[in-house]
Chains A and B, each alone.
Chain A
Amino acid sequence: MSHVVSPIREKLVTGGKSYSDVTHDICKQVEGEPTKEWKIAFGISCLVFIYGAYCLFYTWWQGIGVWGLNKTVGWAWDITNFVWWVGIGHAGTLISAVLLLFRQKWRTSINRSAEAMTIFAVLCAASFILAHMGRPWLAHWALPLPNAFGSLWVNFNSPLVWDVFAISTYLSVSLLFWYMGLVPDLATIRDRATTAGRKFWYGFFSLGWTGSSKTWARYEYMSLILAGISTPLVLSVHTIVSMDFATSVIPGWHTTIFPPYFVAGAIFSGFAMVQTLLLITRVVFKLEDYITIEHIEMMNIVITVTGSVVGIAYLTEFFIAWYSGVEYESYAFINRATGPYWWAYWMMMTCNVISPQLFWSKAIRTNLMVSFFLSIVVNVGMWFERFVIIVTSLHRDYLPSSWAMFSPTMYDIGDYIFSFGLFFTLFFLFAKFLPVVNMAEVKSVMKGVSSNFPAKKAKATKKTEE
């Protein structure tokens, strides 16, 4: 392929890899025995998952009375965790869809794991939606199904119903996009398979893929259209999540800035989570030649940009609270920064606004340990952001006699732990059984971006130009 790649661009694949090296490096972990590190990590996530599942089961069995909610704070960790996970779930589609539309080649080695992470994060988010319904076995009541109540339908004017549609569409479309991206790579594993089991299962899911030029041409169109519709979809999801709050009349929630503010925050936290996972994956699976410092740096730049957007949103909110002249609105914000939850507010400010600014320094944004640490700091900050928005807007309502504080019980914490168990268990299963890097896409951008690409290929390129 005759790409025009500027010579000043960093190489995206290092180590002088050939196409078959890519196949070999990526398939290695699918085909080999699981490593000891994988077994230990998977074992720990299963234990966390089991403990969390117990807490979640107890919550379902007893009802949400086991949480620390009270008459004033009626929504706390459940919705905080939900919004946090949905936000994290934005990065995958953003990387695979938006960066595809912008023709960013560096996305090719990270999109697969980022999309997988998206799907698992949305599943974690869904677990809180189900849990906070109180009676999760009636979850289907949120769907417009004919029923025995004189066909009482759902209210399509309600943002909570929009959310049901947004999250379920997002989950299913992301899953589809991810799976279609996997098909050519599954075919690669099928064609290399040495065991009957692998041949059968990878063969079953690779749909009889042969990689003909006709199929590839259609495939490219399909990916482009899926990217085109996923881009507004991903923006719509967090917009609608923000409307769960923004369409209410609670001071601190009732603001028009919420949709862009939430979307920026979602991308911010999602990229931070992708960063955390990539930094682990590249070491555990020895993918340093595919997920290079260049990739890490790009991710950090996106984190800085979105972190700054979030910072501006925080300041704008404060300014508007004062400028509106509404005393309830002003109080909600003064209470956030200086009230009993001041520590949560300043935690959020430090982690989300100040810490990503460190990435202006090239030394910091190319340092792996610092990037890893800051990526976690960002997600801590983003959890506090949601906690601040939700709990501090509720805990001091219109009647001072009903002012209250929220303290989580072990089941609030346990249900949150459940989501981590679920997320990491699924992620480790993915990393063992599916190729963590999109081989076909990496191969397609290798010429021009791979360092020391074998000399024979360079000659062939020249021949084509003639």
Chain B
Amino acid sequence: MSSTTNYILGVYDDEDEVLHAVGEVKAKGIKIEDVFTPFPIHGLDVAVGHERTRLPIAAFMFGTLGMICALSLISYTMVFDWPMIIGGKDFFALPNWIPVTFEGTVLFTAFGLVTTFCISNDLWPGNKTLPLDIRTTDDKFVMAINVDKNKVSAADIKKALKESGAIEVNVK
């Protein structure tokens, strides 16, 4: 996030407190940019107001693609390009292809899913982005509020954060 943005950070030291605080701060009409935490907190994304992720749909699509690719490759090689006579059996031997098709489906799902996840969260090797407060990867929970996107004054935001139980309020 660019350094020109004005953030007010409320620092909490407990997951239940921050989850509770999100509701309190939002009730005062303050728009929360995001909450940074050392571990996933169930219900926090909903409380902040993020939409439900569409990753499962992406995963399903990649899986389907993997299945189609595997089946196409196998049927092309085994039926069309170089059919082999094995005990006079059908060239199109679908049951025998289940294992490789399954592995192809899993492979595409896994890599497609993780790639989509990384792209959608702007994660890539060498990305130098650091958390707004680096203690959030240790034991602190930080609520970030973008002053420019809020109609509420900075002083009121700070007051609301304090009231909701923040142990520190910082400006970044």
Residues of A participating in the B interface, judged by any CB pair closer than 8 Å: 1-2, 18-20, 23, 144, 150-157, 159, 161-162, 165-166, 169, 172-173, 176-177, 180, 183-184, 187-188, 190-192, 203-205, 207-222, 225-226, 229-230, 232-233, 236, 240, 243, 439-441, 443-444, 447, 456-457, 460-461, 463-464
- B residues in contact with A192, CB < 8 Å: 138
Nearest-CB residue, chain B, relative to A155: B84
Alpha-carbon distance between A451 and B50 when the two chains are bound, in angstroms: 34
Q: Are B137 and A187 in contact (CB under 8 A)?
A: yes
Chain B 14-62 residues near chain A, CB threshold 8 A: 14-17, 19-20, 34-42, 44-45, 48, 50, 53, 55-56, 59
* Secondary structure dominating the interface of B: helix
Q: Are B125 and A173 in contact (CB under 8 A)?
A: no
Q: Are B102 and A232 in contact (CB under 8 A)?
A: yes
Q: Are B39 and A464 in contact (CB under 8 A)?
A: no
CB-defined interface of B50-77 with A at 8 Å, one 1/0 digit per residue? 1001011001000100000000011001
Q: Are B103 and A460 in contact (CB under 8 A)?
A: no
Q: Are B107 and A173 in contact (CB under 8 A)?
A: yes
- B residues in contact with A457, CB < 8 Å: 14, 16
- B residues in contact with A460, CB < 8 Å: 14, 16-17, 20, 165
- B residues in contact with A218, CB < 8 Å: 53, 55, 117, 120-121
Q: Is B151 an interface residue (CB 8 A)?
A: no
Q: Are B107 and A236 in contact (CB under 8 A)?
A: no
- A residues in contact with B171, CB < 8 Å: none
Q: Are B38 and A443 in contact (CB under 8 A)?
A: yes
Q: Are A236 and B99 in contact (CB under 8 A)?
A: yes
Alpha-carbon distance between A191 and B59 when the two chains are bound, in angstroms: 31
The 6 A-B residue pairs with the shortest CB-CB distance, nearest first, are A208-B127, A19-B139, A217-B45, A208-B129, A153-B77, A207-B123
Nearest-CB residue, chain B, relative to A174: B110
User: Among A1, A144, A229, A461, which residue has its beta carbon within 8 angstroms of that of B42?
Assistant: A1
Q: Are B45 and A169 in contact (CB under 8 A)?
A: no
CB-defined interface of B123-157 with A at 8 Å, one 1/0 digit per residue? 11111111110111111000000000000000000
Q: Are B107 and A151 in contact (CB under 8 A)?
A: no
Alpha-carbon distance between A191 and B44 when the two chains are bound, in angstroms: 23
Query: Known contacts A173-B106, A217-B40, A218-B117: does B129 contact A210 (CB below 8 Å)?
Result: yes
Name 17 extra pairs, CB < 8 A, besides A153-B82, A447-B16, A456-B14.
Answer: A1-B42, A165-B104, A166-B103, A173-B106, A180-B117, A184-B137, A187-B131, A191-B131, A208-B129, A210-B136, A213-B34, A213-B36, A216-B39, A217-B50, A222-B113, A222-B114, A236-B102
Query: Known contacts A218-B120, A463-B17: does B125 contact A204 (CB below 8 Å)?
Result: yes
Q: Are A444 and B111 in contact (CB under 8 A)?
A: no
Q: Are B136 and A211 in contact (CB under 8 A)?
A: yes
* Interface size, chain B (Cβ < 8 Å): 69
Q: Is B78 an interface residue (CB 8 A)?
A: yes
Alpha-carbon distance between A2 and B103 when the two chains are bound, in angstroms: 38
Q: Are B39 and A176 in contact (CB under 8 A)?
A: no
Alpha-carbon distance between A222 and B113 when the two chains are bound, in angstroms: 7
Q: Are B106 and A440 in contact (CB under 8 A)?
A: no
The CB with the most chain B CB atoms within 10 A, among A151, A183, A225, A440, is that of: A225
The CB with the most chain A CB atoms within 10 A, among B14, B39, B111, B120, is that of: B39
Q: Are A213 and B39 in contact (CB under 8 A)?
A: no
Q: Are A213 and B82 in contact (CB under 8 A)?
A: no
- A residues in contact with B81, CB < 8 Å: 151, 153
